[in-house]
Amino acid sequence: MATTAVDHRPGGPPGPSVPRPGAVRPRRRPGSRLRLRNTLVGWSFILPNFVGFALLTLVPVLTLFYISFTSWNVFGVAEWIGLDNFTRMLGDPSYHKALLNTLYYSGLHIPLTLVASLSLALLLNRKLRGVAFFRTVAFFPYITSIVAIAVVWNMLFSPEYGPVNQFLRFLGVENPPGWTTSGDWSMPAVILVGVWREMGYFMLLLLAGLQTVPAELYEAARMDGANAWRRFWNVTLPCLRPTMFFVTVMLTINSLKVFDLILVMTDGGPGQSTLVLSQYIYQKGFEENQFGYASAVAVTLFLICIAVTIVQFLWNRRRDA
Amino acid sequence: MAAVSAPAAPAATGAPPSSAPRPAQRRARRRRGAVRLLGYVVLVAAAAAIMLPFAWMVISSLKENNDVFTVPLEWIPDPVRWSNYVDIWAKSDMVTWVKNTLVLSVTVTALQVTTGSFAAYGFAKMRFPGRNVLFLVYVGTIAVPWQSYMIPQFVMLSDVGLSNTLWAIVALQTFSAFGVFLMKQYYESIPESLSEAARIDGMSEYGIWWRIMLPLSKPAIASLVLLTFVNTWNDYLGPLIYLRDPQLWTIQLGLKTFISQYNAEYALIMAGSVLSVLPVALIFLFGQRYFVQGIATSGVKG
Amino acid sequence: MKRTAPVAIGAAAAIALTLSACGGGGEPEADATGPVTLTLAGWSLSTTPEFQVLADAFHEENPDVTVELKEYDATDYDTQMTADLAAGSAPDLYVLKNLKNFFTYQSGQQLLDVSDVASGLDPATGGLDTYEVDGATYAVPYRQDAWLLYYNKDLFEKAGVDEPDGSWTWDDYDQAAKDLKAGLDGGTYGTYQHVWQSVVQGFALAQTEGADMTSGDFGYLQPFYDRALDLQDAEAQVGFGTATTNELQYQAEFGTQKAAMMPMGSWYVATLLAQQESGDADEFEWGLAPAPQADASTAGTDATPVTFGDPTGIGINPAIDDAKVSAAKEFLAFAAGEGGAEKLAEIGITPALLSDAAVDAFFSIDGVPGDDLSRFAFSTHDVRPENPVDPGAATLSNILNDAHTAIMSGSSSVADGIAEAEKRAASEVG
């Protein structure tokens, strides 16, 4: 299981330098004074950030929840209409379409990005000539202007003259897909670009996490004769768990609320084939000024995200225990 | 179970130290060398593919405006027009934009890293009632798309007179839940035994954070710094909503406004985009060296 | 947490109250004499001189009133303006960039009733009645762009095709596009219809008898889409997929002679002149012709061709100081009236009021083609709005845009695309 590799450490280094992934909680002497003290100290750490967070993020978000029960149109009075926005969603085919597309995007984007970024992180965590250069390159898609990204990828995917399809034709594919100009292929195309763009971002986070894996554990596993795959499975992954948790949660949330990439690449088209929830929220709110309804859609997106996060949270805790 | 009996496959990295290699070893080494070379070729090819959009940006920035979008695409600019890089300085207010963006990025990054890692310690290492719920609230707000609550937030900040000031952007970006979450997860992977030992030595929690946690979390801080910096640097929607005065524009807002102003001058726009990416790339190149194995290996050779 | 939650919710409710209260705003100031400073919203000020021109010309006539400009982003103008109006920080006067959002501002009570200004304007002012809701007018138009046909005289001559004579229907136009394609070298197309939905739908709505976007019946689009697809199939026009994936710019397509004709709004005249001057566009002889007609009865120089275009208007923010209202109304009257029209025409803008003086001013600009047909095309037409003023206008426009991309990319047939749009219109606007 997860922590077995730790047990195989050689007699080598004594002392507290061997980590226990998943942080064994400190023993605490019972006593309410101590608990109070802990609470106060705990809050003193959190407070500086929390004050700003509560005022600037939490309050507006709570306002959003309130607005989702109203017919607010940004200017006039916000009239309380109860659950009307939510019942309207049930019968709104465009909302259903956006929801399905969002799940489609996330369902493929999350695993693909995870595999790509983890491979990159493992590959670029070694002593390699020019590793700084390669890391920078992998991160480049994330910092390149999104307009340029849209332009170049759209052009690569261009149905008649695009290099992608010219290559496919060269391989003998007679009717290559229309990519961003085809209702069926636009989503795969966007997912591909999404993976390409974000893999460097998550690679960076995983790279940071990999630094917590002590080299002596690898050494120990190697002495035990574990092959590369075993070492990855029994040493790397367990030590990486807190980071993996962070990465999967962020990746899930980011995928579920994907916005700007789709906006610049296909603007939801052709037809509604790449319309996603975040874009629907923007459309309803800023283009059609139905802020109440847009807020209600945002609340459902929030609920989906939070449900998935809680599942991941509990799963992570179970693995921890 | 990690107890594997099969002999270890030779690792891809590092040759076994041996002063007099036997033929079999030499062959193996040569094979390894070939594999390594092949690996480099693959890496370089992949790097080139990844850089393609950026390459296109650079190429386009050297073209005439109406040559940027053509069918089929021209990869070699003819004629090469370097003057785009001169023109963009003359036609736009790049100096002001870069200055504002730099001020914002540095301030936001510094504040985010300090308050974020401080709060993260509370979440990761302290136990008190309500901690998990509070943490979930933090993470939950990440799940709400910003464009859905930006108007209430804007009204609020306008009421206290923060709109149309750089402070608005600082306020907006500094207290994000992202930094807290990232640092908390990293702290959790730092062995508890370290802080426990310090506690026994009588060190306060603040001391532990400052003397033990911060130094050990360099890779996490590095990635938080990089990501916060990049996000502030590339943020467009925030400045768009909050900053009206051209004196306050950031590089992204400036460039986008520039795009709408000179809506057909794509070569010029690409020149600006290239210039806006370079500082971030340099900072990354510099910052990535903090990603070296750090924790708990102190004094131990791997 | 237990203690903070109610506080946060209380604060949220307080904000919600502020939100709902900020519709009114603006404390009156007593003093009305002395110099007045008005603020006016504009975008891309350094390349869009029209705001400064109006402000300066008005100040010259009324030295007591200074108009200061506040800069907004051109693409995200409405997002920024919405935020500013909601927070009460918007300028005294603001421009309605397109008609689609007029209803939102008007129904959100963000526009002052300016019926008194409107009644003093020339009834010939284009687009004036579009700003009327329930008998009251809430903004006045100062510019009224119209869609025309731009054509490249050099390429017509080279291909040996007859130039437009003002009597063209869409059939004539299609034939000319195909003839041009046949008569020119491989890379040059007969025409370029940009990827915007308005290129097809704007004409369809304006030129079809009884067409009404708000009726939810979009059958009127069918012949226009059939024609657009036919041009594409005949390769007289670059394919939609190629145009979108390569982000083709209409300025470059016509300006660098990649296409011999282009239906486009009158705003492009100023751009084309500027690009020919700067060298971004080639030097060639070009002309303006009336937009091709669906029906021969509206074609010809003795008729009034029907085309489309949204007016651009100015309205007054109700939060303005009472003392400034009269000065603001004077500015509106100036901008939409004779004085403003001439100043705008001088810089290549199509004013809402096409007086003879304004047309003369426009055609005296260096480089504007001087032939009779160009002058006729610019000054004589019946311009219908691209979007109706209706609560569902923005939603319908989004639905129709989805239909446009689905049909033009070949993802669905014309009939299916229209049927889908009608179904959505019924359920989403209904």
Closest alpha carbon to A266 in A162, A194, A200, A169: A194
* Cβ contact C153:C163 at 8 Å: yes
CA distance A165 to A169: 6
Label residue A33 exposed, middle or buried (CB < 10 Å: 0-12, 13-18, 19+): exposed
Q: Give residue-wise pLDDT tens across range C311-336.
A: 999 999 999 998 899 999 999 999 99
pLDDT band at A321 (very low <50, low <70, confident <90, very high): low
ipTM confidence: 0.80
Out of A62, A77, A151, name the one closest to residue C23 (CB): A77
pLDDT band at B298 (very low <50, low <70, confident <90, very high): very low
Q: Does C110 touch chain B (CB under 8 A)?
A: no
Q: Give residue-wise pLDDT tens across range A58-104.
A: 999 999 999 999 988 877 677 888 898 999 999 899 999 999 999 99
- Specify the CATH number for the domain of residue C141: 3.40.190.10
In this predicted structure, which of A29-33, A194-198, C63-67, C298-302 has the lowest mean pLDDT? A29-33
* Rounded average pLDDT over A257-270: 86
Domain boundaries, chain A: 86-320
C contact residues 32-61, partner B, Cβ 8 Å cutoff: 43-44, 46-48
Q: Is the pLDDT of residue B3 over 50?
A: no
Q: Is C32 in the same domain as C94?
A: yes
Count structural domains, chain C.
Answer: 2
Q: Give residue-wise pLDDT tens across range B25-74.
A: 777 777 778 888 888 888 888 888 888 888 888 888 888 777 776 666 67
Ramachandran sector of residue A74 (left: φ over 0; alpha: ψ -120 to 50; beta: rest): left
pLDDT band at A131 (very low <50, low <70, confident <90, very high): confident
Q: Is C303 in the same domain as C193?
A: yes
Q: Which residues does A272 contact at the CB level (< 8 Å), separation at least 6?
A: A94, A97, A98, A101, C402
| C409: closest chain A residue by CA | A181
Length of chain A: 321
Q: Is C187 in the same domain as C292?
A: yes
Q: Is C241 in the same domain as C179?
A: yes
Q: What is the number of CB-based contacts under 8 A between chain A and chain B?
A: 337
* Average of per-residue pLDDT values in chain A: 83
Out of B1, B12, B72, name the one closest to residue A161 (CB): B72
Q: Is there a contact between A75 and C395 if contact means CB atoms under 8 Å apart?
A: no
CA distance A255 to C334: 52
Q: What is the pLDDT along chain C (430 residues), one digit of tens a residue?
A: 333 333 344 444 444 444 444 433 333 444 445 789 999 999 888 778 889 999 999 999 999 999 999 988 887 888 889 889 988 889 999 999 888 888 888 888 899 999 999 998 888 888 888 899 889 999 999 999 999 999 999 999 999 999 999 999 999 999 999 999 999 877 789 999 999 999 999 999 999 988 998 898 999 999 999 999 999 999 999 989 888 887 788 888 899 899 999 999 999 998 898 888 888 788 999 999 999 999 888 988 888 999 999 899 999 999 999 889 999 999 999 999 988 999 999 988 999 998 889 999 999 998 899 899 999 999 899 999 888 888 888 889 889 999 999 999 988 999 999 999 999 999 888 6
| A196: closest chain B residue by CA | B50
> Residue C23 has what pLDDT?
38
> Residue A9 has what pLDDT?
33
Separation in Å, CA of B75 to nearest CA in chain A: 12
* Average of per-residue pLDDT values in chain B: 79
**Is the domain defined by A86-320 classed in CATH 1.10.3720.10?**
yes
Q: Is C192 in the same domain as C317?
A: no
Please give the residue that has the higher pLDDT: either B93 or A145: B93
Which residues of chain A make contact with B140, given a CB cutoff of 8 A?
302, 305-306, 309
> Residue C25 has what pLDDT?
38
Tell me whether residue C238 is in a domain: yes
Tell me whether residue C419 is in a domain: no
Q: Is C277 in the same domain as C171?
A: yes
Cα C343 to its chain centre, rounded Å, is 19
* Rounded average pLDDT over B242-264: 78
Q: Is C264 in the same domain as C333?
A: no
> Residue B277 has what pLDDT?
85
Q: Is there a contact between A301 and B178 if contact means CB atoms under 8 Å apart?
A: no
Q: Is C229 in the same domain as C259?
A: yes
pLDDT band at B272 (very low <50, low <70, confident <90, very high): confident
Highest mean pLDDT among A94-103, B3-12, B221-230, C80-89: A94-103
Q: Is there a contact between A269 and C402 if contact means CB atoms under 8 Å apart?
A: yes
Tell me whether residue C414 is in a domain: no
Q: Is C296 in the same domain as C164?
A: yes
> Residue A30 has what pLDDT?
54
| B242: closest chain C residue by CA | C80
HEC secondary structure over chain B: CCCCCCCCCCCCCCCCCCCCCCHHHHHHHHHHHHHHHHHHHHHHHHHHHHCHHHHHHHHHCCCCHHHCCCCCCCCCCCCCCCHHHHHHHHHCCHHHHHHHHHHHHHHHHHHHHHHHHHHHHHHHHCCCCCHHHHHHHHHHHHCCCHHHHHHHHHHHHHHCCCCCCHHHHHHHHHCCHHHHHHHHHHHHCCCHHHHHHHHHCCCCHHHHHHHHHHHHCHHHHHHHHHHHHHHHHHCCHHHHHHCCCHHHCCHHHHHHHHHHHCCCCHHHHHHHHHHHHHHHHHHHHHHHHHCCCCCCCCCCCC
Q: Is C185 in the same domain as C196?
A: yes
> Residue A14 has what pLDDT?
35
- Taking CA atoms, B45 is separated from A202, A267, B38, B52, in Å, by 21, 31, 11, 11
Q: Is there a contact between B291 and A207 if contact means CB atoms under 8 Å apart?
A: yes
pLDDT band at B261 (very low <50, low <70, confident <90, very high): low
> Residue C157 has what pLDDT?
94
Say what the pTM is: 0.83
Which residues of chain C make contact with B264, given a CB cutoff of 8 A?
249, 251-252, 271, 275, 280
* Cβ contact C131:C138 at 8 Å: yes
Please give the residue that has the higher pLDDT: either A264 or C84: C84
Q: Does C9 touch chain B (CB under 8 A)?
A: no
When scoring A286, A290, A291 by the number of chain C Cβ atoms within 10 A, the one with the most, hence best to mutate, is: A286
How many helices (H) and strands (E) would you count in chain A?
15, 0
**pLDDT cut 70: percent of chain A above it:** 89
Q: Give residue-wise pLDDT tens across range A207-225.
A: 888 888 887 888 888 888 8
- Structural domains in chain B, CATH included, are 91-297 (1.10.3720.10)
Q: Which residues does C269 contact at the CB level (< 8 Å), separation at least 6?
A: C288, C348, C350, C368
> Residue C430 has what pLDDT?
64
Q: Give residue-wise pLDDT tens across range B183-207.
A: 998 888 888 888 888 888 888 888 9
Separation in Å, CA of A233 to nearest CA in chain B: 9
Q: Which residues does A297 contact at the CB level (< 8 Å), separation at least 6?
A: A89, A95, A277, A280, A281, A284, B148
Out of C4, C9, C109, name the one closest to residue A76 (CB): C109
Q: Is there a contact between C248 and B71 if contact means CB atoms under 8 Å apart?
A: yes
Q: Is there a contact between C20 and A268 if contact means CB atoms under 8 Å apart?
A: no
Q: Is there a contact between A75 and C412 if contact means CB atoms under 8 Å apart?
A: no
Q: Which domain holds residue C260?
A: 147-307+378-384
Q: Is there a contact between A227 and B199 if contact means CB atoms under 8 Å apart?
A: no
Q: Is C161 in the same domain as C303?
A: yes
